[in-house]
Structure 1
Amino acid sequence: MTAITEKTLTDFVYAEARMLDEQRFNDWLALFTDDAYYWMPLAHDQQDPKLHTSLLYEDTLLLRVRIERLNGQRTFSQQPKSRCHHLLQAPSIEAFDADKGEYTVRTAFHYTETRQDKQTLYAGWATHQLVAVDGVLKIRQKRVDLVNCDAAFGNIQLFM
């Protein structure tokens, strides 16, 4: 891979959202480092996922289990399958350290999840902590902050 640029980072975020919209969950999971986390805080400005309750705080093992459930033929709660759509603002580069190969990208989004006649809209910000691993960008942590994170939610079936 050539040198990582701001365009490389923003293209990565757009490609990741498209994978989710296309339900390419195994390809999406391959974007994560082995020690990565997918985090959705329960409170605004929450700083610690371990000392405070979160909506989601999943390592790659838990993500893999969710993906297997979503792909399973006997997952009756997903027949028909849920679908989603990401509408992203232009990502902003929050941190860029080429020497360490560490980058932070923040993106405001609207996310729609639908199944049968039910459609739910979420709005928030995704913060990707990215690292270069052997010249390839990987997600070390994806944090999804919902505008109404402290609301009562039904089941969020897919990934934002």
Structure 2
Amino acid sequence: MKSSDSMRDAVIEFIYEEARLLDEKRFDEWYERFATGGVYWMPMVPGQSDAANHASLMYEDLVMLRLRIERLKQPHAHSQQPASRCLHVLQRPFVNLPEEGGEEIYRAHTPMIYSETRGGEQWIYAATASHELVLENGDLRILKKRVELLNCDAPLPAIQIFL
């Protein structure tokens, strides 16, 4: 088992690398970072605590994530003409390590700015990404990623790439 400082550093590096994979459209590699049963959630209401019983901007299990990734990879996808590009600018993640004897879940909260451009248009969003990470075969994996947009309850255009 790694020391708490080295695990904290590993979680931070994992989150930075995840953002880089998305910025570089390396969606298959990003998908592989999800744990068995992993989910990606973007709430529709600030502070929303329940994804199952309330509408969300996105709530995708591994099957839905795979479908979205396959669509993004299609060269003739209508919503990707021209193709989107994105950039994540992350603040250093705040990491909470598991308590001794508790669940082995590493939690991190990362304030960020996300920019997406397609053609002559650009969209900029402020958000906080919350990760719940677990160790699978010694590697960190995403059990749940929740991205709460600062203005999640406002009318929004279609967000094409994952935040």
**TM-score, length basis structure 2:** 0.93
2:82 equivalent in structure 1: 80
Identity among equivalent pairs (%): 43
How far 1:98 moved relative to its partner? 6.6
Paired AA for residue 146 in structure 1: L
Aligned residue-pair number: 159
Alpha-carbon distance in structure 2 between the residues aligned to 1:95 and 1:151: 33
Worse overlay, 16-25 or 88-97: 88-97
Aligned-residue CA RMSD (Å): 1.4
Q: CA deviation at 1:74?
A: 2.5
Aligned to 2:27: 25
Task: Give the aligned partner of residue 110 of structure 1.
Answer: 113
Which residue of structure 2 lines up, in the alignment, with residue 48 of structure 1? 50
Q: CA offset at residue 154 of structure 1?
A: 1.0
Per-residue deviation at 1:94? 2.9
Partner of 1:128: 131
Residue 82 of structure 1 contacts residue 157 of structure 1 at CA under 8 Å; is this kept in 2?
yes
Give the Cα–Cα distance (whole angstroms) in 2 for the partners of residues 72 and 98 of structure 1: 46
Superposition deviation, residue 97 in structure 1 = 4.0
1:106 & 1:10 partners in 2: Cα distance? 10
Letter in 1 for 2:142: I
Partner of 2:150: 147
Name the SS of the counterpart of 1:28 in structure 2. helix
The question of whether the paired residues in 2 share the 8 Å contact of 1:39 and 1:56 is answered with: yes
Deviation digits for residues 109-155 of structure 1, max 9, x if unmatched? 00001001100000010000000011000000000011101000111
Q: TM-score scaled to structure 1, two decimals?
A: 0.94
Contact map agreement 2:8 2:97 (CA 8 A) in 1: no
Q: Measure the CA separation in 2 of the matches of 1:95 and 1:147.
A: 25
Q: 2:69 aligns with which of 67, 70, 73?
A: 67
Q: Could you tell me how far apart the structure 1 residues matched to 2:97 and 2:155 are? A: 33
Aligned-residue offset at 1:5: 1.3
